[in-house]
A and B are shown apart, each in its own frame.
Chain A
Amino acid sequence: MAAFLFSRLLQSAALLVIVSIIGFTVLNLMPGGPLSQYALDPGMTQADIARISEQLGLNRPLYVQYLDWAWGLLSGDWGTSFRDGSPVIQVIARHVPATLLLMGSSTVIAVAVGTWIGIRGATHRYSGFDYVATVGAMIALSIPTFWFGLIGIYVFSLRLDWLPAGNMYTIGDGSVLNYLHHLIMPSVVLALVHIAIWSRFMRGATLDAISQDFVKTARAKGLSERRVVMKHVVGNALLPMITLAGVQVPSLLTGALVTETVFTWPGMGRLFLDSLGYSDYPVVMGLLMFSALLTIVANLVADITVALVDPRIRLA
């Protein structure tokens, strides 16, 4: 286990370095550069811009800027936002909880509903339910998340007036219920595509498990069908799903980005788009690194969980 963790940490560190180099380079290749917004200001002279560039250290060669930034990252200084001068870490920390709340609730919905649909689809293969679930999953996968969001807002906010169209809470009302009320639509919309993915994979994994010999053994012992499915089939079917959960984290993050924009949810996705708009490179890079870290940690946790659950695997 120690050896496994050690080698995985090394790999992760290397991965983060690569991601940061690519991210940094691509970001700086964008036309305009971080000072383009100042250039639009009629009160700015060329000399002013050169001075700002000098102050921010943007006139140095790119690799020096990168090394400087990377060193700062390691020592806990993620730089300061170009937009309002506050430390990047604080800016990100302000937005992370909202995104984690959205991702967390979406995951709970996607896993619960997807698992149920997958198991039922597999145990009742080729039934009406199975066909509806298959077609439903295809629809959910082929329609973009923002469209679901807009339709949701139109139907449940504008027409029925059941759910708020955006934001995380009503100003002046900080109750948990109010938060939950705002959370319902974005998390369900974000969950839709993941329910589709999760249910398809769960159906496949369940079918694999159902055809295993030990399931026949379980039946031959006289176990009830319910116990056969819940204990022997689902237990084994969930194993590969743990790995899938780890792999799904980046796509949840991407989905959150879109969903947050549609529902004016004050999370990382919104922050990312806004920062790109303002060419706030330190924040964009900070978000990129945070997402990469989150993805790596999620996959590591998934691998360790599989090893803990499956007695056959000893991490080495």
Chain B
Amino acid sequence: MVAGGQSASAPAIALSVRGLTVRLPDGMERRHAIEDISFDLPRGQILCVIGESGSGKSVTANTVMGLLPKVMQTSAGSITLEGREIVGIAPEELRRLRGQVVAMIFQDPLSALNPLMTVGAQIDETMAAHGIGTPGTRRERAIALLTEVGLPEPALMYHQYPFRLSGGQRQRVMIAMALALEPTVLIADEPTTALDVTTQAQILALIREIQRRKGMSVLFITHDFGVVAEIADSVVVMEKGHVVERGDAEKVLKSPDHPYTQRLIAAVPHLRAEDRPRAAGAGAPAKAEPVLRVRNLVKTYRSGSALFGTQRVVPAVQDVTFDVWPGRTLGIVGESGSGKSSLGRLLIRLMEVDSGEILFGDRDIAALSDAEFRGLRPKIQMIFQDPFASLNPRMTIGTILTVGPIAHGTRAARARDEAKALLDLVGLDARAFERYPHEFSGGQRQRIGIARALMFKPELLVADEAVSALDVSIQAQILELLDGIQRETGVAMIFITHDLRVASQICDEIAVMQKGRIVEFGRPSRIFFHPEADYTRELVAAIPGEHFGEQTRTAAETAARA
């Protein structure tokens, strides 16, 4: 049942791409999605294609799979898969190769599985589409695959719907599905980006293990140099549709040649051994009082009906206590389901607390009515995760910035002046005032989001995954901006993130949350380099490529000096 050649005559290069060019439809920001791309995927190796958003790395993967949207066309070049040219072959022939010779797994395992079909049916379908096996043998094979990717109780898993599975389990199902027909080439498009860091480590290990055992060739698309350091044999670096550097993984990571690669590697956040210098002295004189004192905060989600005995109780935040000081940043880190976002929503009263106190100055926010809290709202502001969804597309930037303060009684002319000054502060042109959100990039939009929050001259900023949706180079800039703003204004900040490396860049203290509780609290250097709680230790160990950290950083610095 194995298709493709694992015979003696199999070529040493599993996948070869030469001069590949894909045109974009007219009117886009550039003419080609990718231009003149060439690389080789040697048999039995993992080749990482790395780049930021818009680099064309996903287009490259989709072109190999023949999955480009209709408006994009391969206009030049060749793709040789297992010794046969696949550019320009009949769609039906390409279809037969898909799943059989080359398989693909995707970024978001949440949406990559059909919600209406059981796991088993979706694996079965892969084999059935290529006319392989009988329903009985396919079922056996599917259960064997589920076992192989390390899913618990495979026979039960076979009948589960995807929504019942965790993110990591879904990605294992995707991998099982991709392995169904023993393809020789696996294309993985950011397969761990949407996963928690500990899950990411497990999935990376699984891909590595399967690849070695089966001698598969893997084309691995990623934006994360940490992941590259974990898994890659060789690397291709892409920028704006071009390959700017390629080579052995160790060589590219340690001594990158191209300035873009050097910049990228330098921008990768690492755990910092030294703590952030205190912002004290700069801006407002440091008050001896915390801005916010949270005491024994509790929030429990209830769903279903107590009456009919179907109630489910999920403790989201359990007995959480901490202080936030002016001019300083408290990091709240944890994986999905740890309660960190629930905590953030409680602090700005997007949700009612069950018990406990949130003391802002001497007033307990938790006990205020909505009307009473409205007066305090300007003092506690939020920076949101998704810069694309958090700005109203029908409003100009000027309106977005001024509508809040004007509603709270600021004169329009004054609000306008302040808005322009803030646009300048966050590094945007004052002309942005008249423009609409869609005219800005993700990083620029996040700057607008920050300016919007600052319009109220808040005493506390709550940033919920504020840089998670951004490319690393942009991420570094936004973190720098937040740092500068804090030094200038003395604003206190709560920085909620799943990314420990980012937290270590910006936070003065860190609270590690697990299952609604703070399991460890302390300064970043202590938390990350001498963790006490087992869970923190697990989190730190799972950070991809951290052992490369020191080497790559010194390498980047050497290169920068040269």
Least CB distance from A239 to B in Å reads 8
Closest chain A residue, CB of each to CB of B181: A222
Q: Mark B151-179, 1 if CB is under 8 A from A, else 0.
A: 00000000001010000000000100100
Tell me if A236 and B116 are in contact (CB < 8 A): yes
In angstroms, Cα B65 to Cα A3, docked, is 48
Closest chain B residue, CB of each to CB of A309: B116
| Contact for A220 among B67, B161, B310, CB less than 8 A | B67
Q: Mark B405-438, 1 if CB is under 8 A from A, else 0.
A: 0000000000000000000000000000000000
Residues from 1 to 49 in A contacting B, C-beta threshold 8 Å: 2-3
In angstroms, Cα B178 to Cα A216, docked, is 13
Tell me if B67 and A232 are in contact (CB < 8 A): no
Q: Mark B185-220, 1 if CB is under 8 A from A, else 0.
A: 000000000000000000000000000000000000
Contacts of A55 in B (CB 8 A): none
- Of the candidate stretches B92-100, B277-285, B501-509, the one touching chain A is B92-100
| Contact for B116 among A220, A222, A311, CB less than 8 A | A311
Least CB distance from B331 to A in Å reads 32
Contacts of B130 in A (CB 8 A): 222
Contacts A216-B112, A312-B163 given: A2-B67 contact, CB under 8 Å? Answer: no
| Contact for B67 among A219, A227, A309, CB less than 8 A | A219
A178 within 8 A of B: no
| Contact for A216 among B67, B99, B125, B163, CB less than 8 A | B67
In angstroms, Cα B147 to Cα A281, docked, is 70
A159 within 8 A of B: no
Contacts A221-B98, A309-B116, A312-B161 given: A213-B111 contact, CB under 8 Å? Answer: yes
| Contact for A217 among B96, B112, B304, B307, CB less than 8 A | B112
Residues from 226 to 244 in A contacting B, C-beta threshold 8 Å: 227, 231-232, 235-236, 239
Closest chain B residue, CB of each to CB of A311: B161
Tell me if B115 and A220 are in contact (CB < 8 A): no
Closest chain B residue, CB of each to CB of A214: B114
Contacts A214-B114, A311-B161 given: A219-B98 contact, CB under 8 Å? Answer: yes
Least CB distance from A223 to B in Å reads 5
Least CB distance from A53 to B in Å reads 49
Tell me if A3 and B98 are in contact (CB < 8 A): no
Contacts of A3 in B (CB 8 A): 305, 307-308, 310
| Contact for B115 among A2, A214, A219, A221, CB less than 8 A | A214
Tell me if A311 and B163 are in contact (CB < 8 A): yes
Tell me if A221 and B129 are in contact (CB < 8 A): yes
Least CB distance from A7 to B in Å reads 9
Tell me if A214 and B303 are in contact (CB < 8 A): no
Contacts of B125 in A (CB 8 A): 218, 221, 223, 227, 231
Least CB distance from B506 to A in Å reads 32
Tell me if A213 and B115 are in contact (CB < 8 A): no
Tell me if A235 and B113 are in contact (CB < 8 A): no
Contacts of B126 in A (CB 8 A): 221-222
Tell me if B114 and A310 are in contact (CB < 8 A): no
Residues from 182 to 236 in A contacting B, C-beta threshold 8 Å: 212-214, 216-225, 227, 231-232, 235-236
Contacts A223-B125, A236-B116 given: A2-B308 contact, CB under 8 Å? Answer: yes
Tell me if A224 and B106 are in contact (CB < 8 A): no
Contacts of B115 in A (CB 8 A): 214, 236, 310-312
Tell me if A232 and B114 are in contact (CB < 8 A): yes
Least CB distance from B307 to A in Å reads 7
Contacts A214-B114, A232-B114, A310-B116 given: A220-B98 contact, CB under 8 Å? Answer: yes
Tell me if A220 and B103 are in contact (CB < 8 A): yes
A160 within 8 A of B: no
Closest chain A residue, CB of each to CB of B180: A221
A74 within 8 A of B: no
Tell me if B104 and A220 are in contact (CB < 8 A): yes
- Indicate the size class of the contact surface on chain B: 20 to 34
B108 within 8 A of A: yes
Contacts of B67 in A (CB 8 A): 216, 219-220
In angstroms, Cα B399 to Cα A54, docked, is 68
A177 within 8 A of B: no
In angstroms, Cα B305 to Cα A2, docked, is 10
Tell me if B303 and A316 are in contact (CB < 8 A): yes
In angstroms, Cα B116 to Cα A236, docked, is 7
Closest chain A residue, CB of each to CB of B114: A214
In angstroms, Cα B58 to Cα A68, docked, is 71
In angstroms, Cα B125 to Cα A218, docked, is 9
Least CB distance from A69 to B in Å reads 34
Contacts of B97 in A (CB 8 A): 222
In angstroms, Cα B111 to Cα A216, docked, is 10
Least CB distance from B459 to A in Å reads 41
Contacts of A239 in B (CB 8 A): 116
In angstroms, Cα B163 to Cα A216, docked, is 18
Contacts A224-B129, A311-B163, A312-B163 given: A217-B308 contact, CB under 8 Å? Answer: no
In angstroms, Cα B95 to Cα A177, docked, is 48
In angstroms, Cα B111 to Cα A239, docked, is 16
Q: Mark A160-185, 1 if CB is under 8 A from B, else 0.
A: 00000000000000000000000000
Residues from 454 to 475 in B contacting A, C-beta threshold 8 Å: none
Least CB distance from B171 to A in Å reads 12
Contacts of A232 in B (CB 8 A): 114
Contacts A217-B106, A312-B161 given: A224-B95 contact, CB under 8 Å? Answer: yes
Residues from 74 to 102 in B contacting A, C-beta threshold 8 Å: 91, 95-100
In angstroms, Cα B67 to Cα A222, docked, is 11
Contacts of B65 in A (CB 8 A): 219-220
Least CB distance from A220 to B in Å reads 4
| Contact for A221 among B111, B161, B163, B177, CB less than 8 A | B177
In angstroms, Cα B309 to Cα A316, docked, is 11
Contacts of A221 in B (CB 8 A): 98-99, 103, 125-126, 129, 177
Closest chain B residue, CB of each to CB of A312: B163
Contacts of B177 in A (CB 8 A): 217, 221
Tell me if B112 and A214 are in contact (CB < 8 A): yes
In angstroms, Cα B104 to Cα A218, docked, is 10
Least CB distance from B70 to A in Å reads 9
Closest chain A residue, CB of each to CB of B92: A224
Tell me if B305 and A316 are in contact (CB < 8 A): yes
| Contact for B95 among A2, A217, A222, CB less than 8 A | A222
Tell me if A220 and B108 are in contact (CB < 8 A): no
In angstroms, Cα B100 to Cα A223, docked, is 11
| Contact for A218 among B111, B114, B304, CB less than 8 A | B114
Tell me if B111 and A214 are in contact (CB < 8 A): yes
Contacts A3-B305, A213-B108, A316-B304 given: A222-B114 contact, CB under 8 Å? Answer: no
Contacts of A312 in B (CB 8 A): 115, 161, 163
Tell me if A223 and B114 are in contact (CB < 8 A): no
Closest chain A residue, CB of each to CB of B66: A219
Least CB distance from B189 to A in Å reads 10
Q: Mark B480-501, 1 if CB is under 8 A from A, else 0.
A: 0000000000000000000000
In angstroms, Cα B279 to Cα A99, docked, is 77
Contacts of A213 in B (CB 8 A): 106, 108, 111-112
In angstroms, Cα B115 to Cα A239, docked, is 11
Contacts of A214 in B (CB 8 A): 111-115
Contacts of A218 in B (CB 8 A): 114, 125
B contact residues vs A (CB 8 Å cutoff): 65, 67, 91, 95-100, 103-104, 106, 108, 111-117, 125-126, 129-130, 161, 163, 174, 177, 303-305, 307-308, 310
A contact residues vs B (CB 8 Å cutoff): 2-3, 212-214, 216-225, 227, 231-232, 235-236, 239, 309-312, 316
19 CB < 8 A contacts A-B: A213-B106, A213-B112, A214-B114, A214-B115, A216-B112, A217-B104, A219-B98, A220-B99, A220-B106, A221-B129, A222-B99, A222-B126, A222-B130, A223-B125, A224-B129, A232-B114, A235-B117, A309-B116, A310-B115
Besides the known contacts A222-B95, A311-B116, A316-B305, 14 further A-B residue pairs in the complex with CB atoms under 8 A apart: A3-B310, A212-B111, A214-B115, A216-B106, A216-B112, A217-B106, A217-B114, A217-B174, A218-B114, A222-B96, A222-B100, A231-B125, A310-B116, A316-B304
